[in-house]
Amino acid sequence: AQSVTQPDIHITVSEGASLELRCNYSYGATPYLFWYVQSPGQGLQLLLKYFSGDTLVQGIKGFEAEFKRSQSSFNLRKPSVHWSDAAEYFCAVGLSGNTGKLIFGQGTTLQVKP
Amino acid sequence: EPEVTQTPSHQVTQMGQEVILRCVPISNHLYFYWYRQILGQKVEFLVSFYNNEISEKSEIFDDQFSVERPDGSNFTLKIRSTKLEDSAMYFCASSGKDIPLYGYTFGSGTRLTVV
């Protein structure tokens, strides 16, 4: 069955430090991959997505992610974290086919220390 | 930029009552979805809807749930007899084009509280 794993439930980084959030997926076909961010009580904002082509994807707010097929991973990175990046981050896999269903990981809560 | 609009943003209902959550998808989109997120948990797929019928539903989407596109612009989720465990944030999403994963857009959600 398809699944998405975000191994880190909670991460704390200092402002200005680099960030990497891990995401692993299990899916037999070529996946469509997404990262969303959710601030407390808010909706889901798309950070970036990978469908095909260059495996390093640039997103909004200075985020990037790299698709590694051999590792079934799609890790999110940011070189220098800002206090406003504190939020919950969700990785999701989109299943090919007609329905367009997304499967989400459990999420990683990012806390930023001043 | 086009948006998916959900109303109300917050709804409180008594257990056993029927509730209808409303969504206005992006106007030229063809695929419609409902997801839910129980507080502190991950976002879960409920149902997808295309060409005026359900194309896929999860095991969560039992007989208490139904969806409808009543007038070509709204997309609704009805819960017939709400339970305490239905308390969650409900997200509507829509997508267009030939491949449903393209242009996927979420609404800002409706927080449903069942008391």
Mean pLDDT (chain B, rounded): 93
Structure token digits, residue A72 = 């079934």
Kindly tell me the burial class for residue A52, based on how many C-beta atoms sit within 10 Å of its own C-beta (0-12, 13-18, 19 or more): exposed
SS3 state at A84: helix
Mutate to test the interface with B, among A27, A44, A46 (most CBs of B within 10 A): A44
Q: Is B104 on the interface with A (CB under 8 A)?
A: yes
B42, B50, B99 ranked by CB distance to A105: nearest: B42
Q: Residues of A with CB below 8 A from B95's CB? A: 100
Nearest chain A residue to B39, by CA: A41
Of residues A44, A106, A107, nearest to B106 (C-beta): A44
Interface membership of B45 toward A (CB under 8 Å): yes
Q: What is the mean pLDDT of residues A8-18?
A: 97
Chain A environment of B107 (Cβ under 8 Å) = 43
The answer to whether B7 contacts chain A (CB < 8 Å) is: no
- Segment A24-79, tens digit of pLDDT: 999 877 789 999 999 887 889 999 999 888 999 999 999 999 999 999 999 999 99
Query: If 0-12 CB within 10 Å is exposed, 13-18 middle and 19+ buried, where does residue A54 land?
Result: exposed
Angle, vertex CA B63, rays to CA B60 and CA B64, nearest 5: 80
Q: Tell me: pLDDT of B103 over 70.
A: yes
